[in-house]
Amino acid sequence: MAMENSSKALVYQNIKSKKSKKRRPIINKILFYLLLIGGASIMLIPFLWMVSTSLKPDGATMVLPPKFVPNEPTTQNYERVTQQFPMMRFLWNSIVVAVLTTIGQMIFSSMAAYAFARMQFRGRDKLFLLYLATMMVPTQVTMIPQFILIKQFGWLDSYPGLIIPTMFAVFGTFLMRQAMLGIPRELEEAAFMDGANHFQVFYRVCLPLIKPMLAALGIFTFMQSWNNFLWPLIVISNQELATLPLGLSLLQGRWATDWGLMMAGVVISVLPILIVYLFAQKYFIQGMTMSGMKE
Amino acid sequence: MVGMTRKKTFIWLCIFLLPNLLGFLTFIGAPIVSSLIISFTDWDLLGEMQFTGFENYIRLAQDPDFWVSFRNTIFFILGYIPLVLIFGLACALLLNKQMKFRAFFRATFFLPVITSWVAVSLVWKWLYNPEYGLINYALSIIGVDGPQWLSDPNTAMIGIILASAWKDIGFVMVLFLGGLQNISPSFYEAASIDGAGNARKLWNITIPLLAPTTFFVTIISLINSFQVFDQVMIMTGGGPGGSTEVMVQNIYNHAFRYFEMGYASAMSWVLFLVIFLFTWIQMKVQDREVN
C-alpha cells in the first residue's frame, strides 16, 4: 500500500499546477447539502411510502395522485394482516430461528477459533485451510445435499432444520480466529501459571478481549438469519413454521394486489431488525464490512 | 506426568473443536463432496441413483433455458455493477467530509442494506406499479409516460437492477469509505498547495489510490450478483416470458420443482466455477499487491 501511495504521488507531481478560480464556498456548501439530502431522500422515500401505504384504509391505496400522508390513518391493515394471516407466528418463528442461530454460531465458532488460534495440534493449519477453501463455495452448491440430509434426519418442516445447518458458517470461525490471533501469549501464560484450565482461559481471558468482534459477528449472523429467504423456502412447506421473509412471500401469493395489507406485513418484518440496527449500528457496519459477502 | 497433560490437552482440544468440526463436516464438507457426485448422476430423489457420466453437463451446454438464465444474469450484472460502483463511490465521497448529521446520513444510506431482500422487493414492486405506483407518478409529473416495468419483458430486468442497486449502494459506500480513510491527507494538502481543484484531486488522487478498494468491491459484487435470486423470485418470479429468469432460479426450479437433483447439482457446479474464476483472479491480484 505504501509503495503504491508513493508511486501515485509521483504521478501527482507531474500534474501541472494551475491556479484555481476563486470559489464561492457558500454555493458549494448548498450544492453539497442538496446532493446529500437528495440522496438520503431516495433512500428514505421507499420506506416512508411503505409505512404510509400500510396506514391507508381499504381503497385509499389505489388513488391518483398518490398521497404521502394518509387522510385518515388507520391500523386496520395491521389488524387484518395479523388476524387473517399467522403474521405473529412468523414473527415468533423468525425470532426463535435468528436468536438460536446467532447463539449457536457465536459459541461454536469462537470455541473452534480458540482451538485454531491458541492450541497446538497436528494438522491444524491444514484443517483450517480446508475450512477456508469451503468459503469460496456458494450456498447453491451445498443446498441440495443439505436438503437431502435434513430430509433424512426428519428435520423438514422443523426448527432444527431451519437452524442447525446455518449455524456452522465458516465465516464465523474465520473471523473469530483472526480476532484471537491478536491476543498476546503472555496473558494466557499468566492465567495458566495461576492454574487456570483451557476453558477458563477461553472464557475469562480470550472472550473479553474479542468482545467487539464477537458482537459484530453476532449482529451479522442475526441479520443474515432474519433476512434469509432461500433456506426456509427449501426446508419449510408448513405455513405455521415459516419465518418472516417466507411468510411475506406467501402473503404475496394470497393478496397480491392488497397493497395496504402487504405493506403492513412488510413493516412488521422490517421493524425488529430496524430497532436492533438503531442500537447497534456500529456493529452492523463492521460486520458487513468484514464479511465482504452479504448474500 | 507428561502423558497426563498430553491426554488432558487432547480432551480440551476435542471439547473446543469437535462440535464445530462435526457440524462443518456434516453440513458443509460432506454436502460439497456429495453435490459433485450427484452432479454425475440422474438422481430424482426417489429412484435409484445412476451414474450418467458427463451427461448432465452436456445437457446443460445444450439447454436453451440455461443459456437464457445465464444471459439474463450477465445482463443483470452489467447493469447492476456500474450503478453500485458509481453511486456507492459518490455517496462515500459525500460522506467522507466533516459535516453536520454525518452519522444520520450514513445510517440512512445503510438502511436498505439491513432490510431483507423480500421486504425490499415487495416495496419496490409496489413502487413500480404501472398505474398507482410512485415511480410512474413521479415520471408523469415531468411528462414521461412510465413503462409497465415488471410486467413488460423489456423493462422487467431494468426494474430489478434499479431496486438491487438501491439496496446495495450503502454496502458499497461503506467499503469505499474504508478505502478513503486509508488515503493520507498529505496528498490532498500537497495538491491544494499546488492549486489543484476538487475535480483534479478526485481524478488524480482519489480514484487512482482507491483502485485496490474498487477492485475488491467489483469482485465481491460480481460474486454476489451471480447469486442473484431473492429479488427476482419475489418481484417477477422469472417472468414475464422468462425475461428475468436467472441462474440460481434455474437451479432452484430443477432441484425443488422438478426434483432433477443431478441436473441441478451440475448447474450449481457451473455457477461455482464461474464464481471461482473471479475469486481466483482476486487472489492473484492480491498476491501481486503484497509482493
Q: What is the average pLDDT value for chain A, to the nearest integer? A: 86
Q: A119 vs B229: CB contact, 8 Å cut-off?
A: no
B257 touches chain A (CB under 8 A): no
Chunked mean pLDDT (size 10), chain B, 291 residues: 71 93 96 95 86 92 94 96 95 87 88 94 94 90 90 94 96 91 85 83 88 89 93 91 93 94 95 91 78 59
Number of structural domains chain B divides into:
1
**Shortest CB distance from A66 goes to which of B31, B132, B268?**
B132
Nearest residue in A to B178, CA atom: A289
> Distance (Å, rounded) from C-alpha A95 to C-alpha A274?
14
Q: ipTM of this model?
A: 0.90
Structural domain boundaries enclosing B192: 63-290
Determine, yes or no, domain membership for B78: yes
User: What pLDDT, on a 0 to 100 scale, did the predictor assign at position B28?
Assistant: 95
**Shortest CB distance from A281 goes to which of B24, B107, B131?**
B107
Residues of A with Cβ-Cβ distance to B223 under 8 angstroms: 138, 293
Which residue type does A250 have?
L
Determine, yes or no, domain membership for B233: yes
> Considering chain A, what percentage of its residues have pLDDT values greater than 70?
90
DSSP codes of every residue in chain B: -HHHHHHHHHHHHHHHHHHHHHHHIIIIIHHHHHHHHHTTB---SSS---B-TTHHHHHHHH-HHHHHHHHHHHHHHHHHHHHHHHHHHHHHHHHTS--TTHHHHHHHHHHHHHS-HHHHHHHHHHHT-TTT-HHHHHHHHTT-----GGGSTTTHHHHHHHHHHHHHHHHHHHHHHHHHHTS-HHHHHHHHHTT--HHHHIIIIIHHHTHHHHHHHHHHHHHHHHT--HHHHHHTTT-STTTT--HHHHHHHHHHTS--HHHHHHHHHHHHHHHHHHHHHHHHHHHHHH-
User: What pLDDT, on a 0 to 100 scale, did the predictor assign at position B258?
Assistant: 93
User: What pLDDT, on a 0 to 100 scale, did the predictor assign at position B194?
Assistant: 84
Determine, yes or no, domain membership for B44: no
Q: Does residue A17 carry a pLDDT above 70?
A: no
Give the model confidence (pLDDT) of A93-148 as tens digits: 999 999 999 999 999 999 999 999 999 899 999 999 999 999 889 999 999 999 99
Using pLDDT thresholds of 50, 70 and 90, give the confidence band for residue A284: confident
A216 touches chain B (CB under 8 A): no
Q: A249 vs B32: CB contact, 8 Å cut-off?
A: no
The CATH number linked to B253 is 1.10.3720.10
Q: Does residue A9 carry a pLDDT above 60?
A: no
> Distance (Å, rounded) from C-alpha A5 to C-alpha B195?
20
Determine, yes or no, domain membership for B132: yes
Determine, yes or no, domain membership for B4: no
Minimal C-alpha gap between A84 and chain B (Å): 19
User: What pLDDT, on a 0 to 100 scale, did the predictor assign at position A10?
Assistant: 43
Query: A238: left (phi > 0), else alpha (psi -120 to 50), else beta?
Result: beta
Separation of CA B171 from chain center: 11
Q: B196 vs A18: CB contact, 8 Å cut-off?
A: yes
B192 touches chain A (CB under 8 A): no
Q: Does residue A281 carry a pLDDT above 70?
A: yes
Q: Does residue A24 carry a pLDDT above 80?
A: no
**Shortest CB distance from B116 goes to which of A127, A142, A269?**
A269
The full 3-state SS of B168-187, as one line of letters, equals HHHHHHHHHHHHHHCCCHHH
A239 touches chain B (CB under 8 A): no
Give the model confidence (pLDDT) of A158-207 as tens digits: 999 999 999 998 999 999 999 999 888 888 888 888 888 999 999 999 99
Determine, yes or no, domain membership for B28: no
B93 touches chain A (CB under 8 A): no
Mean pLDDT of all residues in A16-24 = 47
Give the model confidence (pLDDT) of A206-224 as tens digits: 999 999 899 999 999 999 9
A 32-51: CB under 8 A from B? 32, 35-36, 39-40, 42-47, 49-50
A279 touches chain B (CB under 8 A): no
A 152-191: CB under 8 A from B? 164-165, 167-168, 170, 173
Residues of A with Cβ-Cβ distance to B270 under 8 angstroms: none
Residues of B with Cβ-Cβ distance to A273 under 8 angstroms: 114-116
Walk me through the domains of chain A, giving residue ranges and CATH numbers: 26-74 (no CATH), 82-291 (1.10.3720.10)
Q: Does residue A293 carry a pLDDT above 60?
A: no
A144 touches chain B (CB under 8 A): yes
User: What pLDDT, on a 0 to 100 scale, did the predictor assign at position B2?
Assistant: 52
Residues of A with Cβ-Cβ distance to B220 under 8 angstroms: 292-293
**Shortest CB distance from A144 goes to which of B166, B230, B264?**
B264
Residues of B with Cβ-Cβ distance to A109 under 8 angstroms: 20
Beta bridge mates, B51? B41
